[in-house]
Structure 1
Amino acid sequence: EKRKESSPRSTSSLSPTLRVSNYTRGSYPIYFNMGKLGASRRPKCIDGSAPICPSDCCDITDSADVVIEKKAAQDKLESEGIEGRDESDIKELLVIGAGPHALSLILRLLEPKADLLSDKDRHIQGEFRSRMRPVSDVYRHVKKLSKGPSHTLKRKKKDMKCSADVEPLTLEEVHKSVLVVDKNGSWLSGWKQNFEALRIKNLRSLMNAHADPYDHRSLEFYAEMIGRGEELVTLPSLCQRDKSFRGPYQVPSTALFHDFHDLLVKGYGIDDIVQKGTVESIDPVQDDQQSDEPIFEVKVNFGLESNDRSTIVKTRRVVCAMGPMFHTGEAFWEATLRKELAGKHYPSDRILHPSEIVPYLKSRDEPQHHDAEPLRRLLIVGGGITSAQLALLAAKSPWCRGVKLIQRSKGIPRHFDVENKWMGPNRGQLLDEFWSLDMPERAGLLKSARLGGSIPPETLEELLRCQSQQHMNLEVQEEVQISDVCWNDDQFHVTLDDGSDVEGYDMIWLATGSENSLDFYSAFSRLREILPVDVVSGLPVLNQNLSWHCPPDREAVEPKWKDKARERLWCMGSLAGLELGPDALNLIGARHGAVRVAKNIRCDMANKPSPII
């Protein structure tokens, strides 16, 4: 103390010394090793052989009782097969999922001049070139991406004050205090695997739908700059040009879309912040240090050890951006067949549901299966784009000799999941009308607007063209359903409800419509016990900023820390459908949700009031 009082130097110039770094985003002070001086001042660890705890589990203010309690808690976690983490290692943000929605969010947290316009304002702006960013600025942005984060994130003095009044996160902050967990372990990995397995050449989204946070024209300019403009594919049958829709009329190729997003990941320097793991539970608890503050204890299985022990990751904020958990259930004829074959071999590996088809296709591409016996006949059930893509893929593959696609209704030709008007000038008005409805009415509109079973006209034409070619051995039958299935002689014998003859098939793929529901996410079970939420048609009722809404009957009884926990837990993607509208799951919905959540996280981490949505 005498040395500090007599020396004009700051404490940061002393060595060794106690140096405290007060992290501006609200994390705990960090205590650095002080050598012998620190050893004499700091209490002993519960481990008597260590004068200073090597893992910093004992805080400088901990009493002996607190140290013992922490050790006991750690032992309990280990007995349950859970690996505890250092208490000082509290993340500021944990994002679950590494798909387009999560990527859109992280990029908008980083970009100094991010497009944070509301979805209504963005579409109004898109109608007037004079309101858009200068073309030269967009070209300059795309060029910077190839030079890395030092150029992409560089800010001029005149740009230091953000138009949104909230500072972006620095790349250093993101690397230090943000964690992204995804079961596939890298950005868009699951997305890419599905596209590759189904051999999808072009996206079913317009070229202005992507994750770039700077400008909606970035992908278009990128294609032109690298000489791949022909990969912006014009849809020949998309001819609508009226007050409801005025384009664009191009979709990007799958290769172009993936290359552009790989560039975004590298350009912003976030290629290494995703860790492979599965989130098993989300448990909000009260912060020991600040009674009104919450901490989320997230149980994650990183799968790094042979026993696959789970780890508790502590974080102040959580964004749930995982993909949909579609569940189809069991068809009536499956239940009947299972009952008939009770005690005998049930060919469950021959009946594939949506989540099982892509893994099967991937296994077919593995070298050890190249010499496998081809399927004699394959039956695909479903009336949407996925069933059509699967039928075309199987018909063109050497491992399948014949394919039949059946659907219970006529194919509906439509370019996108939702009607064109949702991407036109009147989008703002449509959203206003959607938000004016109560929650059950919104849920009804979500179902009617998406109109399951639609197929892009180009895909439908290809399907009919292949059916007319005898060597393709593809048959499409509409307005029929399965009435009975028997298993005999190593084949399914299928009867349809149109009175046609029974036919034999080696496999049945069920690419039928399915519903997403909060109940299908096991990670939310513990969370919903502590922070209950209203559910309508399987979807959670969220606040306008997509945070976890408090049911009216609990507003007066919940403590302040729980209220704040709700404010710091957000949902994106299909789970946010009741707030974002019919295209919540799509790339347009990724931008819509990312803007709302990014603005709130920026404000919360800067200790500023949440913006008005």
Structure 2
Amino acid sequence: MEEIGSHVHDVIIIGAGPCGLALAARLCEDTPASLFTESEHQRYHWMKSSASSKRNSKPLRTSRRSHTAPDRLLHGPKVACPLDIAVLDANQSEWMGGWNNNFKRLGISHLRSPMFFHTDPRDRDGLLEFAYLEGQEEDIREITGVVGKDLSKHQRKQKASKSRKSQEIAYLDERDRKDFFRPSQSLFARQCKIIAERYNISDMVQNSKVTSIAYSDYRAKSGIFTLQTSTGVKRARTVAFAAGSAAPPSIPLEYSFVHQNFEHVSLALAPTSPDSALPVGLRRRIAQGRPSSVAVVGGGLTSAQVTNAAIGIGVSKVHHIIRGSMKVKHFDFDLPWVGKYKNFLLASFWSADTDEERLEMMKAARGGGSITPEYKKILSNLVKISKAEIHENTKITDAKWDDDTAKWTLETKPSTGGLEVDHIVFATGAPPVFHNIEALKPLSEMAPIKVVGGLPCITEDLMWNDDIPFFFTGHLAALKLGPAGPNLEGARQGAERIAGKLAEIFSEDRPDSGYGSQSGDQKSEVDMGRLGLGRDNQFDILASTSDSSQ
């Protein structure tokens, strides 16, 4: 067990999912895509290669693409992270463990997100490049119907003139077509593994659950966070919360009547559930060849995936119950937020006067649970062969368990004649409720924070407040990141903002270190650490390098 007076980390990241990986990788990256163009990448990598060749007699092999060694194009050399970082995850001891398990449990082959939603800080097109470099073009699927290729310019004008909401029509430019493909889960997982290897952070994750976080010396520069965890006490100068909404799957309060027989109910993607989406008893019944039926409650993509997975393992009939109407969208948010006018929408979001206004914009953009056209087609096919039945605009008003028949009888509004099922699966999501996060209650008591819609009202730098260097990224930072904040897009956006603020914090305390600059015999002609953090002028560095070469 680690003692209180022991080592103090520079940064502790809570959560080893996409947001945690994106942040850790960004803190180790010298030339992030947010600050460097492709041509600048090539120039700086050439400068590093040139400096390396002076120390080594063997020349570096270059590619036809640029003056860059092939291993530097994507995989790159292993990089020593400039900060002392620890990563804590409550359920796994490896990057993306929970993410990968959830995809495997539901048999999901492809992500919902487009190709430019990923965790690589070096290149916006990093995932697309990885697919082609690995020769895995077959692992990406086109997102059809988003570019508007089937409509002529005249047809688009006609459609816009007939619509009362013409401002909501968003067609993507043909040049963006390459972005609107979906990667397979296996391709995405391999890229995440390569990213961790590139930055030498593969072994950084500790399986450790954080139970309490306290901050000492409030409003003082030397404040230290003390984290009580399942593996002992950890200390850090800064902390980043990257654990999603931190809300485990739960049953909505309106369905509290099922708690009396909770053993016959399960939650989709609950950490404590078995590998399958269904309990052991029901799977045993299926294996015996006996008829079985399941009710799946929810209107989002996960509910559709649970329905498909249940039938895939042998359930005779699935009743898919949706409180509203089934919404079909390519993404969790409306298409304009990734279309050619997304910057206009984001500017409107970021310039909103209040967090309440931003919350309303988020609700309008996301609109609750939705499924993709692909799963809409899958469900329609299951309905055609009588394997599934979709009950839209239907709410369960009561449910009674009969021990003799071992079945639930569901009363619904409108009535469906008393549905009888063997099991109920709730796939109703996990909305964020900031005040319910136990580990953060000591901080909340010390420095209360406003909460809107279950989300904390944090600073533009994603900090708790201007005095406490506790950061949020991903779902809990959505009021600052935008409607795509809870998705993979929020991982990279959040990492960029946090990295910028950490650069400011550590450069103030270590003015000579450059936060990531090298020292001694390892210092090269190019201080890539300061360049990557935006602390040095790029052109001054180029000029000094040119002078030294003369």
TM range (shorter): 0.7 to 0.9
What is the CA RMSD across the aligned residues, in angstroms? 3.1
What is residue 241 of structure 2 aligned with on the other side? 320
Q: Is contact 1:603-1:611 (8 Å) kept?
A: no
Deviation readout 1:157-182 (Å, 9 max, x if unpaired): xxxxxxxxxxxxx43x44xx211001
1:136 matched to 2:65? The reply is: yes
* Structure 2 counterpart of 1:179, from 76, 82, 86: 86
Shift of 1:383: 1.1
Residue 525 of structure 2 is matched in structure 1 by: none
1:142-541 to 2 correspondences below 5 Å: 145-146=74-75, 148-149=77-78, 153=79, 170-171=80-81, 173-174=82-83, 177-183=84-90, 184-240=92-148, 245-246=172-173, 247=176, 248-286=179-217, 292-302=221-231, 311-326=232-247, 328-335=250-257, 346-356=260-270, 359-362=273-276, 376-398=292-314, 400-437=315-352, 438-470=354-386, 473-488=387-402, 489=404, 490-541=406-457
1:112 to 2:24 alignment: no
The structure having more radius of gyration, on CA atoms, is 1
Q: C-alpha separation between the residues in 2 aligned to 1:132 and 1:244?
A: 31
d(CA) in 2 for partners of 1:479 and 1:368?
28
Equivalent residue, structure 1, for 2:515:
none
Change in 2 beyond 3 A, CA 1:198/1:604: same
Alpha-carbon distance in 2 for matches of 1:407, 1:367 = 25
Q: 1:587 aligned to 2:503?
A: no
The change in CA–CA distance for 1:428 and 1:130 in structure 2 (over 3 A counts) is farther
AA aligned to 1:317 is T
Paired residue for 2:540? Answer: none
Post-superposition offset of 1:329: 4.7
**Gaps (5+ residues) in structure 1?**
1-82, 154-169, 303-310, 339-345, 551-562
Deviations 1:571-597 (A, max 9, x none): 111111111111111111111111010
- The 1-side partners of 2:360 and 2:68 are apart by 42
Identity %: 28
Measured after TM superposition, the shift of residue 84 of structure 1 is 4.9
CA distance in 2 between counterparts of 1:244 and 1:435 reads 23
What is the CA-CA distance between 1:284 and the residue it aligns to?
Answer: 0.3
CA 1:363–1:87 in structure 2 vs 1: closer, same or farther (change >3 Å)? Answer: same
How big is each residue's C-alpha offset from its partner over 1:391-446, in whole Å with a ceiling of 9 and x where there is no partner? 11111113x22211121222111100111211123222212211222111111111
How far apart are the structure 1 equivalents of 2:283 and 2:250? Answer: 28
CA-to-aligned-CA distance 1:15-59 (integer Å, 9 cap, x gap): xxxxxxxxxxxxxxxxxxxxxxxxxxxxxxxxxxxxxxxxxxxxx
Distance 1:445 1:250, change over 3 A: same
Give the Cα separation in 1 of the matches to 2:302 and 2:22: 25
CA distance in 1 between counterparts of 2:367 and 2:282 reads 40
Partner Cα distance (1:195, 1:423) in 2: 24
2: distance between equivalents of 1:278 and 1:468?
46
Q: Is the 8 A contact 1:142 1:221 kept in 2?
A: no
Q: CA deviation at 1:245?
A: 2.7
Partner Cα separation in structure 1 for residue 262 and residue 221 of structure 2: 51
Which residue in the other structure is 1:597 paired with? 498
1:511–1:364: structure 2 CA closer, same or farther, 3 Å change rule?
A: closer
Is residue 89–residue 205 contact of structure 2 (8 Å, CA) maintained in 1? yes
CA distance in 2, matches of 1:130, 1:425: 24
Q: Give the TM-score of the pair, scaled to structure 1.
A: 0.70
Question: Given that residues 147 and 267 in structure 1 are in contact (C-alpha distance below 8 angstroms), is that contact kept between their aligned partners in structure 2?
Answer: yes
For structure 1, which segment, 326-335 or 380-389, has the greater mean C-alpha deviation from structure 2 after superposition?
Answer: 326-335
Distance change >3 Å, CA 333–CA 207, structure 1 → 2:
closer
**Whole-Å separation in 2 of the counterparts to 1:209 and 1:331:** 34
Indicate if the aligned counterparts of 1:281 and 1:524 stay in contact, CA closer than 8 A.
yes
Residues 330 and 416 from structure 1, CA distance in 2 versus in 1: closer, same or farther, beyond 3 angstroms?
A: closer
Letter in 2 for 1:518: F
**Separation in 1, partners of 2:420, 2:426:** 16
> 1:357–1:509: 8 Å Cα contact kept in structure 2?
no
Question: Is the partner of 1:294 in helix, strand or coil?
Answer: coil
Residues 425 and 527 of structure 1, relative CA distance in 2, 3 Å threshold:
same
Q: Is the 8 A contact 2:16 2:242 kept in 1?
A: yes
CA contact (8 A) 2:115 2:182 kept: yes
Cα deviation, 1:64-122, whole Å, max 9, x if unaligned, reads xxxxxxxxxxxxxxxxxxx55262411111110111111111111111111234xxxx9
Quick one: which amino acid aligns to residue 546 of structure 1? L
Distance 1:273 1:236, change over 3 A: same
Q: Offset at 1:602? A: 2.4
How many residues align structurally?
A: 463
Task: Sort the Cα spacing of 1:133 and 1:444 in 2 relative to 1 into closer, same or farther, 3 A.
Answer: farther
Counterpart of 1:505, as a letter, is V
- Which whole-Å CA distance do the structure 2 matches of 1:141 and 1:215 have between them? 15
Asked whether the equivalents of residues 324 and 392 of structure 2 are also in contact (C-alpha less than 8 Å), the reply is: yes
One-letter amino acid of the structure 2 residue matched with residue 91 of structure 1: H
Q: Distance in 1 between matches of 2:502 and 2:452?
A: 26
Higher RCO (CA < 8 A, seq sep 6+)? 2
Mapped partners of 1:606, 1:322: distance in 2: 27
SS at match of 1:136: coil
CA contact (8 A) 1:138 1:215 kept: no
Which stretch of the first structure deviates more once superposed, 362-371 or 239-248? 362-371
> Secondary structure of 2:9's match?
coil
Q: Aligned equivalents of 1:463 and 1:513: distance in 2? A: 19
